[in-house]
Amino acid sequence: MQYRTLGRTGVQVSSLALGAMNFGRIGRTTQDEATAIVDAALEGGINLIDTADMYSAGESEEMVGKAIAGRRDDIVLATKAGMPMGDERNHRGSSRRWLVTELDNSLRRLGVDHVDLYQIHRWDPNTSDEETLSALTDLQRAGKIRHFGSSTFPAYRIVQAQWAAREHHLSRYVTEQPSYSILQRGIESDVLPVTEQYGLGVLVWSPLASGWLSGAIREGREIATSRSTFMPERFDTTIPANRARLDAVERLAEVAEEAGLTMIQLALGFVTAHPAVTSALIGPRTLDHLHTQLAAADTVLSADVLDAIDAIVAPGVDLAAHEKHDTPPALLDPSLRRR
């Protein structure tokens, strides 16, 4: 396992980090299975665990808390807030009112008195940067969080938040957590240059592109991954974007085979090769999934392999641009672009 400094925090984290989204009802994972995954991840050198309040409506945080009991100080613990936690309209977003309340809920579920990294799950257009950063700064000074970061923010919002922190003399975001894979490289053109400019740590999610790069999806095979059962539109190969992904996967498989690598090693080795990336978040549902992903921990791709990947999916290109999670609201809601 490789270790890198998380931005400019001085905290050392593993190049592969354990994402706990599949703990609980989302991944149909029991407590015993989640604990076994955490045990194996720590034994394999992972020291960063990332979860969120909304994963299985808090169940993931509860499972993580039980799994790390007795060894909290050996783990860099991260969670997130901001996505809806029920139907109540104020139980979401990044207002001071909600963050102060929800952090206490997360600490209770995790069974800890602080988290090392508290992340705003999505940019909240209804709340000012000053409001959010002020609340996070106060929570940091209270000792409930050590650092805070953003997740899936557009590049211009990352910049704006840095400026707001400076203008109002507040603590700043020190990390960003974007989606990044061989098939979704859009952040190379905007987000990653910004994170490098401001010295942010980068924890990338979905490096296996929702299973497209796991090796299980190939031409002529029925697509029967866990994700495809509840998101079938993302795997329907009659849709042009999905057809483009499958074509790219077939060419990437040839590159991996020639290099003596699995598809998982190729995918994880690619994202961790970018100098702006600190860690890649893996989200195994089973121990077998974890072991196949841990096998990529020390994968270093040669320049020839990276060049071959660039020839298949060009730098800065998203093969499924409609799936981006940081699209400005006005592109999604026509009323916001009309007087």
- Is-contact 218 250, C-beta < 8 A? yes
Gap between the Cα atoms of 266 and 163, Å rounded = 37
Gap between the Cα atoms of 248 and 213, Å rounded = 10
Gap between the Cα atoms of 223 and 182, Å rounded = 19
**137 Cβ partners below 8 Å, 6+ apart?**
170, 171
For residue 334, the surrounding DSSP H or E stretch is none
Gap between the Cα atoms of 14 and 27, Å rounded = 24
Gap between the Cα atoms of 51 and 40, Å rounded = 17
| Tokens of residue 289, six digits | 């999934």
CA distances from 32 to 24, 38, 75, 126 (A): 11, 10, 19, 40
CA distances from 106 to 32, 188, 203, 213 (A): 21, 32, 20, 32
> What is the phi/psi pair of residue 205, to 5°?
-110, 160
* Catalytic annotation present for 55: yes
Nearest-5° angle of CA 189, CA 210, CA 300?
65
Selected catalytic residue, list 3, 55, 173, 198: 55
DSSP state of 6: -
For residue 168, the tally of other CB atoms under 10 A from its CB is: 13
- Is-contact 129 160, C-beta < 8 A? yes
3-30 as b/e, with b when 16 or more CB fall inside 10 Å? ebebbebebebbbbbbbbbbbbebbebe
The alpha-carbon radius of gyration of the chain (Å, integer) is 19
> Which residues are catalytic, by number?
55
